[in-house]
């Protein structure tokens, strides 16, 4: 446990905050209520649940389902989480015409090896030689078994796993009856309800090229019609006026894991070329599900600003704010900064 403390805002409302290193980053969880002891137990239970899920989905845990799949080419899942997450991944794969792909790990390994050895980027020949090991269509998923159809394939859930893990923690808190909660881990977050003051959650978008916040937007407890566009005026709701309280936000960026100072090549690779798409510096996506938001942010980074915005506009309950490498901003109609 990295930290645990209680913040009191008045005599009736208390915030219990927990933090833990999980999924390679610091995970922070906050519950607002009136019983600090009960909230502390619920927070610990949520963190324990997220830890167990992460242990099955992490490629860094030797005996996880993902590690056993990568080592042997096939695995009988120990829990339903791997199949559930890969089912969502497949929907994103089809939605983006194959751009979202969980089998890019062989390519990432190549880039990491060059980076670790202080070498330049992989050559075109090296990249092309590994493309035959990439392809989500060569991944077979059933409730009984997950397997690769080609030799040398590897799975990574880095582009969607954090959101899924956060959702599992939220389930625990909701089961205990908590409605005002906030969970965040390395650019992915879930906000429910409101802050102790009654104000909406206000979030900042990281500036992709300098320390600090590029812009802010608010998440409030207004009805779901604001998000779905079924408000009284028949207009798509805006984040500035308040989004449904039950929403998730995910940001992907070229600054998070770059392979070179220019940030032209980074950890989000196009599975068709083995290189990073050249247009976007960051993509922030708001949706009702954290895994969906997480995966969409990864997908949009590769699609680019125009195709990415068009895709988000076509989906119900989604909004997005995309920042190009020239720091131009492309937003969906419903995403308004404060």
Of residues 259, 195, 188, 190, the one with CA closest to residue 24: 188
| Cβ neighbourhood burial of 293 (10 Å; 0-12, 13-18, 19+) | buried
Q: How far apart are CA 318 and CA 100, in angstroms?
A: 17
Quick check: helix, strand or coil at residue 33?
strand
| Cβ neighbourhood burial of 45 (10 Å; 0-12, 13-18, 19+) | middle
Q: How far apart are CA 150 and CA 139, in angstroms?
A: 8
Taking only the tens of pLDDT, the chain with its 338 residues reads 333 333 334 446 789 999 999 888 999 999 999 999 999 999 999 999 999 999 999 999 999 999 999 999 999 999 999 999 999 999 999 999 999 999 999 999 999 999 999 888 999 999 999 999 999 999 999 999 999 999 999 999 999 999 999 999 999 999 999 999 999 998 899 999 888 888 888 889 999 999 999 998 876 433 233 333 333 233 333 443 334 346 899 999 999 999 998 999 999 999 999 999 999 999 999 999 999 999 999 999 999 999 999 999 999 889 999 999 999 999 998 888 88
Show me where the domains of the chain are located.
Answer: 77-148
Looking at domain 77-148, what is its CATH homologous superfamily? ApbE-like superfamily (1.10.3980.10)
Q: How far apart are CA 190 and CA 198, in angstroms?
A: 17
User: Do 37 and 4 contact (CB within 8 A), yes or no?
Assistant: no
Instruction: Tell me the three-class secondary structure of 248-262, residue by residue.
Output: EEEEEECCCCECCCC
Q: Across-strand partners of 146?
A: 75, 141
Q: How far apart are CA 304 and CA 277, in angstroms?
A: 7
Helices assigned H by DSSP within 80-136: 81-95, 105-116, 124-130
């Amino acid at each position: 446990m990295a930290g645990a403390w209680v913040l009191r805002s008045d005599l009736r409302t208390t915030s219990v905050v927990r933090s833990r290193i999980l999924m390679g980053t610091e995970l922070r969880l906050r519950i607002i209520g009136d019983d600090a002891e009960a909230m502390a137990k619920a927070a610990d239970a949520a963190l324990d649940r997220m830890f167990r899920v992460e242990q099955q989905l992490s490629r860094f845990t030797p005996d996880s389902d993902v590690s056993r799949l990568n080592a042997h080419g096939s695995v009988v899942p120990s829990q339903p989480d791997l199949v559930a997450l890969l089912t969502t991944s497949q929907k994103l794969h089809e939605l983006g015409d194959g751009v979202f792909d969980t089998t890019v790990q062989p390519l990432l390994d190549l880039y990491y090896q060059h980076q670790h050895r202080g070498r330049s980027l992989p050559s075109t020949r090296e990249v092309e030689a590994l493309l035959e090991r990439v392809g989500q269509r060569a991944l077979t998923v059933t409730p009984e078994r997950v397997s690769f159809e080609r030799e040398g394939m590897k799975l990574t859930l880095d582009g969607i796993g954090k959101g899924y893990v956060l959702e599992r923690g939220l389930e625990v808190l909701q089961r205990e009856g908590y409605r005002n909660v906030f969970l965040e881990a390395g650019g992915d977050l879930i906000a429910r309800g409101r802050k102790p003051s009654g104000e909406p959650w206000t979030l900042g978008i990281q500036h992709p090229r300098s320390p600090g916040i590029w812009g802010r937007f608010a998440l409030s407890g207004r009805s779901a019609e604001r998000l779905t566009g079924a408000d009284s005026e028949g207009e798509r709701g805006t984040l500035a006026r308040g989004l449904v309280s039950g929403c998730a936000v995910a940001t992907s960026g070229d600054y998070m894991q770059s392979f070179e100072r220019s940030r032209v090549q980074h950890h989000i690779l196009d599975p068709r070329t083995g290189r990073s798409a050249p247009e976007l510096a960051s993509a922030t996506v708001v949706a009702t599900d954290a895994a969906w938001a997480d995966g969409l942010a990864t997908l949009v980074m590769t699609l680019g600003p125009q195709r990415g915005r068009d895709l988000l506009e076509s989906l119900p309950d989604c909004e997005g704010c995309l920042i190009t490498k020239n720091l131009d901003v492309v937003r969906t109609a419903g995403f308004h900064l404060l």
